[in-house]
Amino acid sequence: FSPNSSWDAAYERELQAFQDIGDAGEIWFGEESMVRIIRWLEKQKIPHDSSVLDIGTGNGVLLIELAKSGYTDLTGIDYSPSAIQLSEKVREKEGMSNIKFKVEDFLAPSAELSGFEICIDKGTFDAISLNPDNAVGKRKQYVRSLCSVLKSEGFFLITSCNWTKEELVNEFREGFEILEELPTPKFCFGGRIGNSVTALVFQRK
């Protein structure tokens, strides 16, 4: 089982569906996680010309929503060429020419991927963590990559289904401090209330 090939297959299907019916497909983590991110950026009065990197952009819908909210310097990366093809099609349909999409492996980012003021991750760190092939090493490499692409004092917004707040704070302790936890939907299981999703904002030291 390789996570990469199954994601690729999923995006191939979405690309096909988009070409057939003009539908952007599944929005990972649903609408509310996008709203939560945009609301935080607006509440912090993050300038609309701040450079934003969407790590594992998938179908690019988050960046399209950011563009609609007035953000102008937007980049999305994904290691899946079919995801990038899909996001480019969605971008064309929406007429959002100021979004850049690139095929990039975040664990080995190219030199021009640097100087971002905001980095956003919905589920990419989760996917890397689930990789059966050296997950610990890959997580450490992810943190190193993040340090190299995000400016000092830049913000990192992560949405995760796999990790608790404490675990994420521990994973990103080299180089990042937690600013706040964003409210996420709660679920109740066996009388205990838990969160199915954790959303945190870190700041690069």
171 CB-near residues (< 8 Å, 6+ apart): 125, 139, 143, 163
Per-residue pLDDT of 109-137, as tens digits, reads 999 999 999 999 999 999 998 888 899 99
Residue 20 — pLDDT band, cuts 50, 70, 90?
low
78, β-bridge pairs: 103
Asked if residue 55 belongs to a domain, the reply is yes
- How far, in Å, CA of 186 to CA of 87, rounded? 30
Is 12 among the domain residues? yes
Query: For residue 48, is it within any domain?
Result: yes
Residue 46 sits in a domain whose CATH number is: 3.40.50.150
| 203 belongs to a structural domain | no
Q: Is the pLDDT of residue 146 over 70?
A: yes
* pTM summary value: 0.84
Residue 64 has pLDDT above 80, yes or no: yes
How much is the average pLDDT of 139-152? 97
Query: What's the average model confidence in pLDDT over 88-102?
Result: 93
Residue 70 has pLDDT above 80, yes or no: yes
Indicate whether 199 belongs to any domain: no
Is 183 within the bounds of a domain? no
Q: Does a structural domain hold residue 124?
A: yes
> Which residues, in sequence order, are CB contacts of 130 under 8 Å at separation 6+?
3, 162
- Is 174 part of any domain? no
Q: Give the residue numbers spanning the domain of 17.
A: 6-161
**Number of independent structural domains in the chain:** 1
